[in-house]
Amino acid sequence: AAIRVDPECVFCRIVAGDIPSERVHEDESVIAFKDLSPKAPVHVLVVPRTHLRDVRELATEPSLLAHVASVAGDLAADLADGDFRLVFNTGAHAGQTVFHVHAHVLAGGELAEGEM
């Protein structure tokens, strides 16, 4: 299926390469890059190439949701000790600021309870 693009969306622009990012993974359906303001020693975002608003929309494509989780685990193993926290902020009240779904992968060292 063709990927959906929102020209106003910052993560669509990162996927397109119009905005630079420090990529740590890319494949046909997702990219992953370092968060601009890291909240943990390893803080990367796993982002489907297609423009979906949030994890509720991503859940309508179960294989893509599973792939996001799988890539997150691989990156935690490559970049840290394998342990990680996977966070989808969903909706403004939950702290979502970019409305193109992204999984926060937080890893490295001891993560405090309640940290993100």
**Contact set with ligand 5GP (CB under 6 A):** 10, 19, 21, 33-37, 45, 89, 95-98
Cβ neighbours around 56 below 10 Å, total: 12
Compute the least distance from the CB of residue 51 to Zn ion, in Å: 4
**Partner whose footprint covers residue 50, from ligand 5GP, Zn ion, none (CB < 5 to 8 Å by kind):** none
> Per rule CB under 5 A, is residue 86 in the interface with Zn ion?
no
Q: Catalytic residue at 43? A: no
**Partner whose footprint covers residue 55, from ligand 5GP, Zn ion, none (CB < 5 to 8 Å by kind):** none
The token duo for 25 is 């993974």
Q: Which residues are catalytic?
A: 102
